[in-house]
Amino acid sequence: MSLPTLRLPERLAGPLAAGHPWVYRDHVPGRPTLPDGAWVRVEAGRTAAVGLWAAEGAIAVRTLRRAPTGGPLAPPDRAWVEAAVARALDARRSVASADTDAYRLLFGEGDGLPGITVDRYGRFAVIKTYADGYRRAGSEAHALLALVVRALAGALRLKGVLAAPQDGAPLTALHGELPPPEVTVHEHGLAFVANLHEGQKTGLFLDHRDHRATVRDLAAGRTVANLFAYSGAFSVYALAGGARRAVDVDVAAAALRDAERNAAANAGRYPDAATDPRGRHATLALDLLTDPAAALRHPDLAGSDLIVLDPPSLARHKGQRHAALRAYRRLNAAAMAALPDGGLLATASCTAQVAPEAFRGALAEAAAEAGVDARVLHESGHAADHPVPLAFPEGRYLKFVVVRVDRPR
């Protein structure tokens, strides 16, 4: 099969050879008009790669397979896709267990299948695609996605492989059956309701599983304000770790209804199971972005000495990076100022445009603004089900830092 070949600038030879999976449109010479979702060959220096062309967007080519320029290089076939899926499953051996049946099965670029994420919710796998070509029936990208579906269905005992609701299209079964309106899944032995038909992301924010476990380990005896709570998963872990009380705050009332159910459903797993969980958990529908300091003065949050802060992504593109850093500074300063001496702030950022060092910098500025001493007790990012190629810094979107706040003496 002879593919259209794009010769890239020499400066891309290093990243291409190292396995960087994207070619930005700005770096493609000329303005090739190729079908969306078609295989192309790119070359830089002595490396060639095959990838999928995207007709729109900042990323023109997502590469899957590379080789020295002189050698043979064909687009991935069924055996190649099966091997990629098998490798991804092997990488998750430390994650999947009887206690944890919800996790990311494929993390796109991190598993060699750029633009395709797959989350597992018990016996269902939910696929989300980040390039239109995958959803364009008849394209080569669409055929590749069909191979991924087939490989997943062959490797795992699944009831259904689903396409996530996207662009107004509902949840669709690509293999097997659709799930019921809600499925119950488990993380570290705790139970959560996931609505795969309507949930944000694909149902739960699976990327915080280990961060929630960190909060559980720090929560004993503490009073928790879980800000940007979604369905309250951080609070469930905190209560399981012996927190006195947890309040979930989010602007989305529907998510808070799930939070109430998740908190109650796990009550038997809290250390003091005999205590009525209703007295220990509450929800609060509030906008936290407009004036976070005022929101934190709400009487229901008084006495919180462990604040979890997990806002949505605050930048869509590079141009919004500075505004995002200002927002992180403001949110974290408000949280630090609200904490008592010895309080803990578990703070996250899922903004890909904000690198870990820049996020830590914003936290240091927040501490100065709040007039507190702040020490990092814990820092982490991606778990084993969210692998990131070393040569692909753009893939490292998640940051999680636990800070202890003390008043200067």
Ligand X SMILES: C[S@@+](CC[C@H](N)C(=O)[O-])C[C@H]1O[C@@H](n2cnc3c(N)ncnc32)[C@H](O)[C@@H]1O
CB of 85 to ligand X, least distance (A): 27
User: Should residue 310 be labelled a site residue for ligand X when binding is judged by CB under 6 A?
Assistant: yes
Q: Which of 255, 344, 352, 403 binds ligand X (CB under 6 A)?
A: 255
CA angle, residues 345, 349, 351, in degrees to nearest 5 = 165
User: Should residue 385 be labelled a site residue for ligand X when binding is judged by CB under 6 A?
Assistant: no
Q: In this complex, which beta carbon is closest to ligand X, that of residue 45 or of residue 122?
A: 122
User: Should residue 364 be labelled a site residue for ligand X when binding is judged by CB under 6 A?
Assistant: no
User: Should residue 265 be labelled a site residue for ligand X when binding is judged by CB under 6 A?
Assistant: no
Task: Pick the piece of the chain touching ligand X (CB under 6 A) from 137-145, 175-183, 265-273, 310-318.
Answer: 310-318
C-alpha distances out from residue 4 to 51, 70, 298, Å: 11, 16, 60
Provide CB contacts within 8 A for 129, sequence distance 6+: 115, 116, 117, 135, 145, 163, 166
Task: Pick the piece of the chain touching ligand X (CB under 6 A) from 134-142, 144-152, 284-292, 323-331.
Answer: 284-292
Q: In this complex, which beta carbon is closest to ligand X, that of residue 20 or of residue 104?
A: 104
Residue 246 has phi, psi (to 5 degrees) of -140, 135
What are the start-end ranges of the H helices in 191-312? 209-218, 233-240, 253-265, 292-296
User: Should residue 289 be labelled a site residue for ligand X when binding is judged by CB under 6 A?
Assistant: yes
User: Should residue 248 be labelled a site residue for ligand X when binding is judged by CB under 6 A?
Assistant: no
Task: Pick the piece of the chain touching ligand X (CB under 6 A) from 31-39, 122-130, 249-257, 329-337.
Answer: 249-257
Residue 156 has phi, psi (to 5 degrees) of -130, 150
Q: In this complex, which beta carbon is closest to ligand X, that of residue 111 or of residue 250?
A: 250
Calculate the CA 315 to chain-centre distance: 15
CB of 226 to ligand X, least distance (A): 7
Q: In this complex, which beta carbon is closest to ligand X, that of residue 201 or of residue 321?
A: 201
Total residues at interface with ligand X (CB under 6 A): 19
CA angle, residues 371, 221, 335, in degrees to nearest 5 = 25
Three-class SS of residue 95? coil
The neighbouring-strand residues paired with 166 are 169
User: Should residue 312 be labelled a site residue for ligand X when binding is judged by CB under 6 A?
Assistant: yes
Which one of the listed residues 350, 355, 377, 391 is annotated catalytic?
350
Neighbours of 31 (CB within 10 A): 6
Of residues 176 through 235, those in contact with ligand X by CB under 6 A are 205, 208, 228-231, 233-234
Task: Pick the piece of the chain touching ligand X (CB under 6 A) from 176-184, 281-289, 327-335, 378-386.
Answer: 281-289
Calculate the CA 119 to chain-centre distance: 10
What counts of helices (H) and strands (E) characterise the chain? 9, 19
- What's the CA gap between 409 and 406, in Å, rounded? 9
The secondary structure of 181-200, three-state, reads CCEEEEECCEEEEECCCCCC
271 is catalytic: no
Q: In this complex, which beta carbon is closest to ligand X, that of residue 64 or of residue 398?
A: 398
CB of 103 to ligand X, least distance (A): 14
Instruction: Give the catalytic positions in this structure.
Output: 350
Q: Which residues bind ligand X (CB under 6 A)?
A: 205, 208, 228-231, 233-234, 250-252, 255, 287-289, 310-312, 350
